[in-house]
Amino acid sequence: MRKLVPAVVITLVVAGVIGVGVWALVDRVGGLFTSRTCTATVAGSSVDLTPEQAENAGLIAAIGVRRGLPARAVSIALATAYQESKIVNLTSGDRDSLGLFQQRPSQGWGSEEQVLDPVYSTNAFYDALVEIDGYREMEVTEAAQAVQRSGFPEAYADHEADARVLASALTGNSPAALSCEVPGDAEAANAELRDVGLTFRADKVRKELTAVFGDLSVGGFAPGGVSTGHQEGSAHYEGRAVDVFFRPVSEQSAVRGWAMAHYLVTQAERMSVATIIFDDKIWTARRSAQGWRDYDVDTSDVSAETAEILEHRDHVHVDVFS
């Protein structure tokens, strides 16, 4: 049985933070899940996920980041999703339990359609969690049980260590800590520039990042396309790239940037992402088995400010396949 959530909490989800619901603009079902693995490694501990689990874990963490919640909250949410569904959006469960958190419509969590929406169900979980006094100081299993009211409360502890590793990476607190192995190419798509100056795929990435993370400072594109300001051969000139700025360059900005960079990796196969660059690191689909690599760029003859830009320390670059 899952905890009955007050109607006011569900109202908050619908009217407030559920602004992330623009997610409906993006085709989440389009990804083809494979046997490839995503791996997060923090302080010598590694966690492997399937692409489907990684997509859902990335979303759970991103919503926590958008809401300004601590990594502890994300750890609790991920440990709960591990135990309840193995971080898979299940369409069935015990009695009428559904979704990532196996929330029950009959217990006030929302309609079947709502709890099967990962954005809605994640926000509903966080809404209930933040109502618990002292949840940040609680053991993960204690906080999870306070929300879920499970018949097996001790089981959440089985996933605490893995959830902490994932949360540390996905909230950006551990740089270059998560990578996914994906296909090195994608089927051709509509390469015509849309009104904003991006291809269909690149525009979907732009819309999704805004939907998930909220208002962002974005650039690298313009109506009609861009022809200057980037290195020769840049994907920006084809309308395939978006830059998301995190300024000024600081520890706090780096955490936010890595949260986005890791989110993009977890969604890379679904969104046909080819390249992600941030904080002097690069991830590419074609060499995804190698994970994050040093981004080699010559900054010997430029100012410190220019070097920060060239090394992508002030922005996340993402480009997609044609």
* pLDDT averaged over every residue in the chain: 89
Asked if 258 and 176 touch (Cβ cutoff 8 Å), the reply is: yes
Check whether 137 has a pLDDT greater than 90: yes
Looking at residue 150, what is its pLDDT?
A: 66
Asked if 65 and 127 touch (Cβ cutoff 8 Å), the reply is: no
Give residue 97's pLDDT band: very low, low, confident or very high (50, 70, 90).
Answer: confident
Looking at residue 3, what is its pLDDT?
A: 42
Q: What is the percentage of the chain residues whose pLDDT exceeds 70? A: 88
* 158: Cα within 13 Å, side-chain hemisphere: 9
Strands of 38-42's sheet in order across: 45-49, 38-42, 178-180
Q: The tokens of 95 are what?
A: 């009695």
Q: What is the pLDDT of residues 223-254, one digit of tens each?
A: 999 999 998 999 999 999 999 999 999 999 99
Check whether 131 has a pLDDT greater than 70: yes
Alpha-carbon span 129 to 298, nearest angstrom: 47
Average pLDDT over every residue of 142-148: 90
Q: What is the pLDDT of residues 268-312, one digit of tens each?
A: 999 999 999 999 999 999 999 999 999 999 999 999 999 999 999
Give residue 136's pLDDT band: very low, low, confident or very high (50, 70, 90).
Answer: very high
| Helix 71-85 vs helix 140-148: crossing angle, to nearest 10 | 60
Give residue 63's pLDDT band: very low, low, confident or very high (50, 70, 90).
Answer: very high
- Going by the DSSP 8-state scheme, the letter that residue 136 receives in this structure is T
Alpha-carbon span 109 to 240, nearest angstrom: 40
What's the whole-model pTM score? 0.89
Q: What is the pLDDT of residues 152-211, one digit of tens each?
A: 667 788 889 999 999 999 999 999 999 999 999 999 999 999 999 999 999 999 999 999
